[in-house]
Amino acid sequence: MSSRLCSATAWRTPGATALAAALVLGSAVAAADAQEQITNAKMETASASQGLAREIGRISARSGASWVGYRVPAAPGERRACEGQATHAFLEPASHVIVLARIENGGVGRIRTFAPECEIDAGGMALVWLADVKAEESVAWLATLVTTSLDVASARDRLVTPGIAAIGQHASPAAVPALITLVRNTRATDVRTQAMRWLGRSKDPRAIAFFEEVLTTRK
């Protein structure tokens, strides 16, 4: 029996079929859970399995403005936030964070983050919900967005500050190095302060080692 036939036969075994079905169902359920809190949107779904930056670039090539959203695991202990929704009281930290990017004029014009339980009104705009987003790709994409927007004054409140906050909320091994790189390579005091603040909230040993290095250097 050829190896190709063996692989095909194995794939059809009940265990493999059940596992594949569970993975697909789990992904679909996660997407549905996130989307059900988003209202007043012209919703569509897409996959970022070929790369988050690539997929957002594809969406950015469309005409008109739209939002892109996805969710990734949240850093341990991060408090939940629902902007302007005083009726929400959370006793436990969020397990995930929703990242929303407003696409306009061929690029990203704004970044916002929410807890999955927040009620989000899209204002009748198109919103593309991305599945299969890898947390490390999200961190890399956000870090690039932040660094390429540093010299644009109007982007401080819309991209830089919320982009750094989004990175800090990621439960990804890539988050701390991205924040440390911002501190090391950025001259802007406000950006360095924001990145340091998020590093200070991290329990990652690399963040602790970085602060020890900074303190030692200043002696």
pLDDT of residue 203: 87
Instruction: Provide the residue range defining the domain that includes 198.
Output: 30-218
| 17 part of a folded domain | no
Q: Is the CA virtual torsion 10, 14, 15, 21 positive or negative?
A: positive
pLDDT of residue 30: 45
| 182 part of a folded domain | yes
pLDDT of residue 84: 64
| 20 part of a folded domain | no
pLDDT at 67 over 60: yes
**Ranges assigned E (strand) in the chain:** 38-39, 42-47, 66-73, 96-104, 107-114, 120-121, 126-131
pLDDT of residue 35: 64
Q: How confident is the model at residue 25 (pLDDT cuts 50, 70, 90)?
A: very low
Distance CA(200)–CA(184), nearest Å, equals 15
Q: What is the pLDDT of residues 139-188, one digit of tens each?
A: 999 999 999 999 988 899 999 999 999 999 999 999 999 999 999 999 99
| 210 part of a folded domain | yes
Looking at the structure of the chain, the number of domains it has is: 1
| 126 part of a folded domain | yes
Specify the range with the lowest mean pLDDT, choosing from 34-38, 120-124, 157-161: 34-38
pLDDT of residue 86: 60
Structure tokens at 26: 């789990």
| 106 part of a folded domain | yes
Select from 71, 91, 33 the least CA-distant residue to 170: 71
Structural contact between residues 104 and 42, judged by C-beta atoms closer than 8 angstroms = no
Regarding predicted confidence, which is higher, 215 or 179?
179
| 15 part of a folded domain | no
pLDDT at 3 over 80: no
| 193 part of a folded domain | yes
